[in-house]
Amino acid sequence: MSSLHLERSINKIETNFSLEKGLLKCLTWKTPYYSCKLDKLLVVRLRRVDDLKEAPLTGQLVAISVYYFLLSILLLVAGPILLLKKKARAGLSQKLGFITAALKEKSKTAATKPRIWFHAVSVGEFNALFPLLTEFRKRHPQFEIFISTTTATGQEIAKSKTAGFAEVFYFPFDLPWITAAYLDLIAPSMVAIVETEIWPGFINQCHERNTPCMIVNGRLSPRSSKGYKRWGFFFGQFLAKLSAIAVQTQQEQERFAAIGNKPLNISVCGNIKLDGLNPISSLERKQLREKLNLKDSDFVLVAGSTHEGEESALLEIAKRQDCKLILVPRHPERFDRVQQIIEAAGLRARRFTENESFESASDVYLLDTIGQLSRFYSVASLAFVGGTLANVGGHNLAEPSMYKVPVLCGPHVHKAKDFFDKLSERGALHQGNDVEELNKLVESFKSCEKDRIQAGESGYQFIQDSQGAVARTLSVLEQYLPQCDSADRSNQKWERVGVR
């Protein structure tokens, strides 16, 4: 397509599509990495149309129009994939705007109460949110809580942990008429998005409704920030519509601030996930060891949140070091696959869901459920955090440290770089670039209990020093809550403090 044709197409979009009337049919990107053949031409055109800097209103209208249009095409192209893949089908009807009866009933019965909408894309984000959620309920019991997730595992863990006090549903596709339907129904007094879910259309709709919308526990890895900076002229204008961004570290503050050329309201609050790390009691640990049939002399390696390729590497290490291995795959759909990998290595899989335990030297324990990883770190002599040997970027590197367990990881830590740097500086985390290096690290820690204890203590002290993020985040969030002495939404005039 020539640049002239593209220019005419964009002009036609600007003329024919009206955001206010909800006539745009669209879908949103989850990250800035989705691309198409029009990518470079689009960047040039968006920079030229009415000059975004000199005519921001028109520029924003064109930008969001093109965004909606292209992502509508993406939805049409991806439609067959969404229907064929079981994982992608999860919650598809809700994402397409078919609101459940339960959500409608909850909104109806809570009509006179203030509401807050939290969005956590999956398990990791919800686990980060939970300590904030718990404290929010204590401080603001009058609020009805609505929680959206994107994945099926996120739904499962959210429903199990919030049963009775929150309505859980799937986050809708960022189509204007779909997101508008959810916002109209829930009518939230505020929206809080966990970590890095930047949905331009949804943020724009909240802004137009004068509904405060903020990011909590904001996280932006160095790799992701490069993509957002590349599209900064686009994403910057929507980030500026957020009431606040509460980030984990100073580095994240700098990365968010570097997107686009508009000032952002950013506060460094720390990582709320660390406030939620509550170790189980010594009695529970003892009972778990007994259930697994672990002896005090056993050296236990717990590998959490593993991905394809990592289990094979860890099985090889476990064979060499003669240690008990507990594998915890990141995704439930891989549980059976991991059992096959264990058996192909000439070992026997013992599964949590079968109520099995270690019985012989050839046994490998498979934790084939979600929400239990934290408890199982308590029986570890040493922990490996997955998504680091596979090129995923890492998961929660700090979690084993609450039990004073030293942590190992692979070379790919770009999604958890800040945790990696801080834990490495303290000697609580050690990195191996391949199977051989990781094997040497396991051998070293197995042979020297003193080093193992020292590394574990250093990690535990990091957890203690990092507490307080929930209180700091709530202090930011509460600036944008409605101020009202009564819970009666129908008879009170609601005022919001600090709405941008």
Amino acid occupying residue 414: H
* Count of Cβ atoms closer than 10 Å to residue 340 Cβ: 12
Please give the radius of gyration of the chain, using alpha carbons only, rounded to the nearest integer: 24
d(CA 440, CA 146): 48
CA 495 to chain centre: 31
Give 372's contacts (C-beta < 8 A, 6+ positions apart): 328, 352
Tokens encoding 23 = 């006539």
Q: Which of 7, 14, 20, 125 is catalytic?
A: 125
Q: Around 259, how many Cα atoms within 13 Å sit in the side-chain half-sphere?
A: 27
Question: Residues 303, 379: contact at Cβ < 8 Å?
Answer: no
Please report the sign of the dihedral spanned by the C-alpha atoms of residue 461, residue 463, residue 468, residue 473. positive
Q: Within 10 Å of residue 331's Cβ, how many Cβ atoms?
A: 18
Collect all residues with Cβ–Cβ distance below 8 Å to 386 and sequence separation of at least 6: 303, 304, 305, 306, 307, 310, 328, 330, 392, 395
CA 101 from chain centre, in angstroms, equals: 27
**Residue indicated by tokens 């002399």:** 297
In residues, how long is the chain? 500
User: Is 125 among the catalytic positions?
Assistant: yes
Residues annotated catalytic, as ranges: 125
